[in-house]
Amino acid sequence: DTEVTQTPKHLVMGMTNKKSLKCEQHMGHRAMYWYKQKAKKPPELMFVYSYEKLSINESVPSRFSPECPNSSLLNLHLHALQPEDSALYLCASSQDPTGYTGELFFGEGSRLTVL
Amino acid sequence: DQQVKQNSPSLSVQEGRISILNCDYTNSMFDYFLWYKKYPAEGPTFLISISSIKDKNEDGRFTVFLNKSAKHLSLHIVPSQPGDSAVYFCAAREGFQKLVFGTGTRLLVSP
């Protein structure tokens, strides 16, 4: 299994809603990532977990709350989002927990629309 | 400010010819570079990489060239095939675990 699975693929939410994005991998990778990609822009790093511990937070607003319950699962909890948070959210994992090789395995992404 | 730039949003090439995708960067601290390919409705997939201590890396039809003095890298695909049609992202490693991506170049290879 060489897949990173993200659910849901599409999500529409209001600014007062609470929702979560889920990411799962069964490749035994010990580093997992959240990236955000807006239209016609490059993916931008949000968070990195290594060995289930948060190792990088790219100054992301607290309305985004990551969680890594175990080595296979990564969640992104969303609360009180703004319309400008509408984007494609990409999850990735890497075999190398240091990320030294830069080789990431990406999921298809969750497309989020905030109304 | 974009530290990794792909100035050509799109490129069209005929099947069998060479595709050359370009990427420029501004941060001299970048020490490792990668290319990712992305098909519609799929996540990016790793294609090829190069360390800053090298100037060329080859993998089958794909070759990446790095010119450190010019802060420029390029991806050559020879021969190009219709299945290569995708968006190609250049990325640079900034410290451990962080990749900085370019905006991508859409390659269309026509039969």
Supply the pLDDT for residue A23.
98
Supply the pLDDT for residue A100.
75
Supply the pLDDT for residue A1.
59
A79 touches chain B (CB under 8 A): no
User: B48 to chain A: nearest residue by CA?
Assistant: A103
Mean pLDDT of chain A: 93
User: In B, which residues are within 8 Å of A56 by CB distance?
Assistant: 97-98
Question: Quick check: B46 and A105 CB within 8 A?
Answer: yes
Spatial separation of the C-alpha atoms in residues B23 and B71, rounded to whole Å: 9
Question: Quick check: A42 and B101 CB within 8 A?
Answer: yes
Residue among B36, B43, B99 whose CB faces A45 most closely: B99
Supply the pLDDT for residue A96.
85
DSSP assigned state of A64: E
The amino acid at A61: P
Within 13 Å and on the Cβ side, how many CA atoms surround B36?
Answer: 26
Question: What b/e string do you get for B76-104 counting C-beta neighbours within 10 Å, with b at 16 or more?
Answer: bbeebeeebbbbbbbbbbbebbbbbbbbb
A59 touches chain B (CB under 8 A): no
User: B103 to chain A: nearest residue by CA?
Assistant: A42
Supply the pLDDT for residue A70.
92
Supply the pLDDT for residue A12.
96
Supply the pLDDT for residue A2.
63
A57 touches chain B (CB under 8 A): no
Average pLDDT rounded to a whole number, residues A55-78: 95
Q: Rounded to whole angstroms, what are the CA distances from A54 to A58, A92, B9?
A: 11, 14, 34
Spatial separation of the C-alpha atoms in residues B51 and A38, rounded to whole Å: 28
Q: Do β-strands B62-67 and A73-79 pair in parallel, antiparallel, or remain unpaired? A: unpaired
Spatial separation of the C-alpha atoms in residues A95 and A38, rounded to whole Å: 26
* SS3 at position A26: coil
Spatial separation of the C-alpha atoms in residues A34 and A75, rounded to whole Å: 9
Per-residue HEC secondary structure of B16-58 comes to CCCEEEEEEECCCCCCEEEEEEECCCCCCEEEEEEECCCCEEE
- pLDDT per position in chain B (111 positions), as tens? 789 999 999 999 999 999 999 999 999 989 999 999 999 888 899 999 999 999 999 999 999 999 999 999 999 999 999 999 999 999 999 888 889 999 999 999 999
User: In B, which residues are within 8 Å of A94 by CB distance?
Assistant: 97
B32 touches chain A (CB under 8 A): yes
Give the residue from B8, B47, B99 with the most A CB atoms within 10 Å of its CB, the best one to mutate. Answer: B99
Size of interface A-B (CB pairs under 8 A): 66
